[in-house]
Amino acid sequence: DGSHVCTHTDISIRKMVEEQFRASERQLRNILEASPIAVGVTQVGETTLIFGNSRLAELFGIAPADLIGCDTTELMLKPEEYEITLKTVAKRGNLRDMEVERTRQDGSRFSVLLSVDIIRFEGKEATLWWAYDITEQKQIRAQLAVLAHRDTLTGLANRRLFQDHLSHSLARTRRKAKEGALLYLDLDGFKQVNDSHGHEHGDWVLTEIARRITECVRESDLVARVGGDEFILVLEESHEPEAVEAVAGKVLDSLARPFVLNGEELVIGASIGIAYFGSGRITPDQLIHQADLAMYRAKRDGRGRYVTFDPKLDDA
């Protein structure tokens, strides 16, 4: 009769809808599994994974078979981060690009951008976790930041970092009523070595000079390469002239030792100008100018020596 036909039709339609729904769920699982981004699923309000793709297992350094049942507060988020995530999702309906740093079981550290969405999964509302690995990008950014502030040949601070450091040093010494010194160093005889032996050998000499200078100062002091054969040292909280002159003498003695290249001894010296800074008002440019004047006086006086700035040099 008609009611039997209607009931049979309803059942057929329901079965078709259920089959389509199961097919769509299988399709969703396949899509999530194939995702190049790490994906995990938990029930809403729960922290236990009910699904995780192979990329999630790879990212967090665990076996794929061990993913299901893992606690996301142990795997992906700290408890306090999880609470922030819940509040954000409850307010906005999702979370976008929260950066977190984690440690794998083997001790290696990595960084991810975490995003969260609410979806339907296996017939119920569920929380979808996306974890995008940004470790390599962060490493590249860090390397670029280093390159932006470091001399590419010697690894010393470049002019940009030096100027920033000097400005802060002047401010700190004024605030603390301390003193410091700036040493302007210009190499003697390097141009001849570079011209006669070529730039490749000249570059080796410069890297060796940078190493020798660095060995003469404290870790807290800054050594910068600000020109082809020009270097600047910033000695903070070095208020005793004897201590500053001892460093200058040590640098001169170190650079006076021959540089042995392919069995040949190359002799290169340096001239150093010293200028002091402290509680008085002086700009970075003024301080550099003072040290530069003293350095040129050292050259005129015979090279291979240091000279401390004297206001009379401005009149010379």
Domain ranges of the chain: 35-138, 150-315
The answer to whether 35-138 and 150-315 have equal CATH topology is no
pLDDT of residue 4: 46
Question: Considering only CA atoms, which of 192, 266, 184 is closest in space to residue 225?
Answer: 184
Residue numbers of the chain with a pLDDT score lower than 50? 2-6, 17-18, 21
Residue 129 · residue 41 · CB < 8 Å: yes
pLDDT of residue 82: 84
Q: Which CATH class is domain 35-138?
A: alpha beta
Tokens 């950014």 correspond to what residue? 141
d(CA 96, CA 158): 37
Neighbours of 288 (CB within 10 A): 19
Q: How many residues are given for the chain? A: 316
Q: What's the CATH fold of domain 150-315?
A: Alpha-Beta Plaits (3.30.70)
Question: Considering only CA atoms, which of 218, 308, 312 is closest in space to residue 271?
Answer: 308
d(CA 285, CA 302): 26
Tokens 């995990």 correspond to what residue? 40
Residue type (1 letter), 250:
K
Residues designated as active site: 229
pLDDT of residue 180: 93
Query: Tell me, what DSSP letter sits at residue 313?
Result: G
d(CA 155, CA 178): 29
Angle at 271 between CA 266 and CA 272, to 5 degrees: 135
Task: Encode pLDDT of 103-141 as tens digits.
Answer: 887 888 899 998 999 888 888 888 898 888 999 888 888
284 by Cβ neighbours in 10 Å (0-12 / 13-18 / 19+) ranks as middle
Task: Encode pLDDT of 246-294 as tens digits.
Answer: 999 999 999 999 999 888 888 999 999 999 998 788 999 999 999 999 9
What would you measure as the largest C-alpha separation in the chain, in angstroms?
A: 121
